[in-house]
Amino acid sequence: MPRLARLDAPGVLQQIMIRGIERRPIFKADQDRQDLLERLSSLLPKTQTACCAWAFLPNHARFLFRSGLAGIPSLMRRLLTGYAVSFNRRHRRHGQLFENRSKSILCQEDAYLLEFVRYIKLNPLRAWLVGKRLSNPSSMGVAA
């Protein structure tokens, strides 16, 4: 049975989560986090998407995006394909890096925006990762 198309329209807020296959790490070094962040910062203007918040944990990442004209599926396809190829080359591995497709949750702006940002920002704290290397600035962010 084919997957259903995602609800997406310009201006819609969505929380997006990506997870490593079998919950394996998708970041093995700071260079990996930097690579994903650079790819994201390059693609956001091209897809006219705004990133309101993000958090990188060892085996998953969360984002809060305001969809642009190109749509979130287009952004995620370009972001994750390029990152997976780069990650596989860098760590001399092959095969899938991510589990299924990214998970998305629509966000009602007025009611839940601050709660979604808070949830994303506190995710590393709740996973007891703050005292570790993930507390660096490229692991978590909120757009100004």
Nearest residue to 143 via CA among 127, 123, 121? 121
Q: Mind listing the domains of the chain with CATH numbers?
A: 13-142 (3.30.70.1290)
pLDDT digits (tens, 9 = 90+) for 2-15: 656 666 778 889 99
- Distance from C-alpha of 89 to C-alpha of 51, rounded to nearest angstrom: 27
pLDDT digits (tens, 9 = 90+) for 10-42: 888 999 999 999 999 999 999 999 999 999 999
pLDDT digits (tens, 9 = 90+) for 43-73: 999 999 999 999 999 999 999 999 988 889 9
What does the pLDDT read at residue 111?
65
What does the pLDDT read at residue 81?
95
pLDDT digits (tens, 9 = 90+) for 82-100: 999 999 999 999 999 999 8
| Residue 86, φ and ψ in degrees, nearest 5 | -65, -45
**Quick one: how far is CA 80 from the chain centroid?**
9
pLDDT digits (tens, 9 = 90+) for 102-134: 888 888 766 667 777 787 888 877 776 665 544
Place of tokens 């944990």: 57
pTM for the predicted model, two decimal places:
0.76
